[in-house]
Amino acid sequence: MPWYRRILFPFSWVYAMIVYMRNRFYDWGWFSSQTYDFPLIGIGNLSVGGTGKTPMVEYVLRELAQFRVAMLSRGYGRNTKGFVRAHEGTSILDIGDEPFQIHQKFPEVTVAVDGDRRHGIATLRNDSELEALVLDDVYQHRKVKPGLLILLTMYGDLYVDDGYLPSGNLRDHKKEAGRAHVVIVTKCPEDLEAQEKELIRQKLALQQNQRLLFSHLQYDDRVVGPNGKVPLDTLKTPFCLVTGIANPEPLVRYLKEKGHEFEHLVYADHHYFSDAEVEQFNAKELVLTTEKDYVRLKGRVKNLYALGIRHAFSTDDARWFSNTLQSYVKDGA
């Protein structure tokens, strides 16, 4: 923990007490939480970011490709307010970077944003053909109670080992992990041994009705660029890597393991790239970035390439997760 965050530790106790009491008010019924007789799949985490929510939303949408599914998000960083449904002319400023990424990759999926999740759900439910709704980053939104709630926590930075804001990264109380139906440890080593999985299982101490899964990152072997898709290994090195995500370390490690040489320019999550920064990028021979940053830089940087990423599971975990998702939707909640 950096020294400047250590001095904020007393404030973390105050923050922890506030989020703890807020959750108790929902548990006691002092604040209302609405349930639905409709398949709602919620995806979220207890920390401020870096667990891979957007790739997990994509994973769930691929698993439910046979159904008519919509995705609802808050739309962080957008310039609009209220309910906005993505359409052909929608821009990243209308719905935010992550929903825009989903909209671009899954044109058959209805993508919408609304700061009022209840209102957003009610509006989307007007589509009588809709069979399920995926809620992005919904864990702290207690006004809505998904029928299937998925909690993500990152390998090497489990929520049980983290502290509360502002000295730590937790934005919700650790006890709230008990509300999840499925807990997924993301960004694991691909060859994670059974013994270490068991140690993590013991550390998380989940309830009997909760399922623990382990996923690892799987990068595409091709990148999207000005001339379509080309093999990653054909990119000229050294190149410039630009990241504006919560945790770029897995990507940096992967590229180094592949033998690539690069300059890494690091920006905060959801960073809006200024004209001066774009001018700097355009002076580079080649710029590689993430899919989330790509939707913010496309059309502004001429020599831009994006590397896709997705979650992957063991055969048994993938089969269980797929069956659970599809059975939940088929049963209609």
Query: What are 10-28's pLDDT values in tens digits?
Result: 889 999 999 999 999 999 9
Same-domain check for residues 42 and 104: yes
3-state DSSP call for residue 302? coil
pLDDT at res. 275: 95
Range of the domain at 320: 3-217+312-330
User: Does the CA dihedral 262-219-187-198 come out positive or negative?
Assistant: negative
Binding residues for ATP: 47-54
- 288: its two tokens: 């590689």
| ∠ CA 282-286-288, rounded to 5° | 105
Same-domain check for residues 178 and 322: yes
Spatial distance between the Cα atoms of 229 and 291, rounded to a whole number of angstroms:
13
Same-domain check for residues 226 and 211: no
State how many domains the chain has.
2
> Could you report the per-residue pLDDT of 306-323, keeping only the tens digit for each?
999 999 999 999 999 999
Strands, E assignment, the chain: 40-45, 69-73, 84-85, 110-113, 132-136, 148-154, 182-186, 211-225, 228-231, 239-243, 262-266, 287-290, 304-313
pLDDT at res. 333: 59
Same-domain check for residues 43 and 138: yes
Quick check: 328 and 39 in contact, CB under 8 A? yes
DSSP 8-state code for residue 140? T
Same-domain check for residues 306 and 322: no
Same-domain check for residues 152 and 228: no
Same-domain check for residues 183 and 110: yes
Same-domain check for residues 172 and 250: no
Same-domain check for residues 41 and 180: yes
Domain harbouring 83, CATH code: 3.40.50.300
Domain harbouring 302, CATH code: 3.40.50
Residue (of 35, 37, 41) closest to 63 by Cα position: 41
Same-domain check for residues 322 and 306: no
| Percentage helix, strand, coil for the chain under 3-state DSSP, each rounded to 5 | 35, 25, 40
Binding residues: 47-54
Provide the residue-wise pLDDT of the chain in tens; the chain has 333 residues.
Answer: 566 667 888 889 999 999 999 999 999 999 999 999 999 999 999 998 889 999 999 999 999 999 999 999 999 989 999 999 999 999 999 999 999 999 999 999 999 999 999 999 999 998 778 999 999 999 999 999 999 999 999 999 999 999 999 899 999 999 999 999 999 999 999 999 999 999 999 999 999 999 999 999 999 999 999 888 999 999 988 999 999 998 999 999 999 999 999 999 999 998 999 999 999 999 999 999 999 999 999 999 999 999 999 999 999 999 999 999 999 999 875
Residue (of 329, 311, 316) closest to 55 by Cα position: 311
Quick check: 135 and 144 in contact, CB under 8 A? yes
Same-domain check for residues 208 and 319: yes
Q: What values do phi and psi take at 229, rounded to 5?
A: -95, 135
Same-domain check for residues 77 and 183: yes
pLDDT at res. 3: 63
Q: For the whole prediction, is pTM greater than 0.75?
A: yes
User: Does the CA dihedral 232-236-237-243 come out positive or negative?
Assistant: negative
